Amino acid sequence: MIEKHAKALDGLELIIATERVSMAETSNLPVELQILNSPSFLEPESYLVRIDGRRFFQRLTQGSSGVIAGEATFNGKILFSGRPPASGVESLLTIDTVDRSLGEAKRKATSRNHFFWTYFEEAGYHLPASPREIGEPTSSLVLHLAKQGRVISWSTDSEPGGLHDVTIEAPDPWSRRKMTPDQITAAVAHLRTSKSRERQSLLLQRLSERSELNPTRLYRFSLDPAIGFAVRSKWEMTLNRELLFHSSCEDFVKLPDRDLWIPKVIQTLVHASDLHPTYIAQSPIQRITNSVEKVTPKSFGDSDFELWYDAPGGSVFDYTAKDATADTPVTYNVPAKTSDLARAAAVSGLGFTPTRLLIALNVVFAISIAVWLWRNPRGAK
């Protein structure tokens, strides 16, 4: 029943609004977390999401102006992520491998997430986010975590139809951020000031150290069998039961002709952030509210999972190209016209012939998919 409830998300388009409210004075936060109170981190967001079996699309807009901050899509075969051009900023587009044997398992650096499914995770669903998972269908987060770890307890209220209380020990998502000193140095080399490089290096070092010390965390769920075992509440804790996050799902609605109840509102209290993974606040430092503004059942076509950035000068990072490695993509720019191909190839310094670059660009254009390179800067999840 739990898995059936998760699969009922297929064929839906959702619009989800996200708001963040600070619950701690900036001066009371560690320096690493004070950025969470900055206006840019508290801007409202909106997500457009499409789910169709193993195909997914996500678009993030930020602020009242609705600027597109990033997009991601998987059409069942190829994964792209990107950011469209805006206000003089050129587009970015990543083409990533979904071959598990060539992808994430062989990568030395931190995992690349192309999708961010915060609402769905708090509601008890697991949707693929990184290349190691892309190609999997939507599933129950409870069952997904149980497969990855172990069920510590599963109890039921004595009252008929009572809530189920489940606690699972499973991998800590922060524990995947393992980097060597050389990789940390390379990751911060682009930062302009030595102070910025030093601060970011310290963050990455802490994440790597935490990976060794705390490879797992506890997940506790309150499930309601009366509404398809939907998640009423969710807690994430350290193994010492220090609270990291607590989410409450509210205002459930049943979608017509589906065994699916979804919460229209999810309130999450944040006690910790991967911006400073060793710091856990006793009181919440932030409240995140995810609200479903619209749900539309749809029969999707290929065009619902397509998008192409054709503005000249945009950068393309291709992990599927012949000369790409698991950690280093082949990189090229979108030319203004066919006659510019030779010059674009020369500027890239990658040894492209005009024909080879044209083939690469035509593959991208024919597939017409754009995916999101924007990485969640909030650090709360």
What count of Cα atoms within 13 Å lies in the side-chain half-sphere of residue 7?
Answer: 8
Q: What is the pLDDT of residue 133?
A: 82
* Residues 61, 44: Cα–Cα separation, whole Å: 9
Instruction: Output Rg (C-alpha) for the chain, integer angstroms.
Output: 22
Taking alpha carbons only, the member of 36, 31, 58, 56 closest to residue 47 is: 58
Q: Is the pLDDT score of 149 beyond 50?
A: yes
- For the segment 235-292, what is each residue's pLDDT rounded down to a tens digit? 999 999 999 999 999 999 999 999 899 999 999 999 999 878 788 999 999 999 999 9
Alpha-carbon distance values, 292 to 52, 264, 265 (Å): 18, 5, 7
Tokens of 356: 């080879």
Q: Are 193 and 205 in contact (CB under 8 A)?
A: no
Range of lowest pLDDT (47-51, 240-244, 310-314) = 310-314
Helix 341-348 to helix 354-367 angle (10° resolution) is 100
* Residues 13, 6: Cα–Cα separation, whole Å: 15
φ/ψ (deg, to 5) at 73: -155, 150
**What torsion do the CA atoms of 25, 28, 29, 35 make, to the nearest 10 degrees?**
40
What ranges make up the beta strands (E) of 24-91? 45-52, 55-62, 67-74, 79-83
Read off the amino acid at residue 258: R
Tokens of 227: 């509404």
- For the segment 153-200, what is each residue's pLDDT rounded down to a tens digit? 999 987 777 899 999 999 988 776 666 777 777 766 766 677 777 777
Q: What is the pLDDT of residue 64?
A: 78
